[in-house]
Structure 1
């Protein structure tokens, strides 16, 4: 049986339609996977660790910038803290291990104050592991305290109303700075 030209054209049309449909399905699946990853990234917790200097106090801040809660599995710091660095408190040498098991809601932060001039190491390395109900995350943060705050915050003492107003302005500045 011989195929007529009309039959061949119809078969080619069917094959072209089938190929186009398969390509469309493949593109749709790839797009759905990418969208799923983007949605997951936008909804995941995002724990960050960073220092902020205010006067002679260094605050090491652990904050969840993400949009879902995170459970801290493990957090460790390469620096071993001394009593002098943590205002004489006896919290041990790895003060951040107390955060293991903590729940960080979106926007929640912990601020750890340190005596800036008493800190013996400049380089801090933090390793953190945390999870949500569905996925586990880990990250490493490395920062140099002296590079992150090369200039000290110095403010004059007050003896009159004008000086008091300057101190109030300084404190407002510090409040804004600590909320970073």
Structure 2
């Protein structure tokens, strides 16, 4: 039996211009040290209580901003590009070993979050290329809107045809609204659309 090559599920590639980020951080750090040296000398040479207090407050404010900059450098120190290969997951794990997946969709106000958009999100999640017995989609309507309830009752009826249509035709764009408004679907899908209507 021939062993299949071990295909990666993701790759991580360092951005080629890392040296620029590190050079910038080094120059900026030197400037900060010089700046705080100047602030410390100004504090020590203050002659009145008012000047000492003002220099102390300015130094504390600059210290806070410097700390924020230092903490933000963690993201810039080694920038990387990540690329996922979800299709290779099937070679790593058999379908029976895939973990259970729970998708939670929350909504509250039908005016700010139109029910059709929330329903499209739920339909997209239901059409994931994942075993149906291992996936659950939950919708939490904190506003208790009747309009959202009606939209989801219609979406549930539509989902019976939409999910099977996506799997049968191997549709990559699983959001119904995005799929039906896309001009790149071609004429061969017209029959499937009519069937769903």
- TM (norm. structure 1) is 0.26
Could you say which structure has the higher strand fraction?
1
Could you say which structure has the higher helix fraction?
2
- TM (norm. structure 2) is 0.25
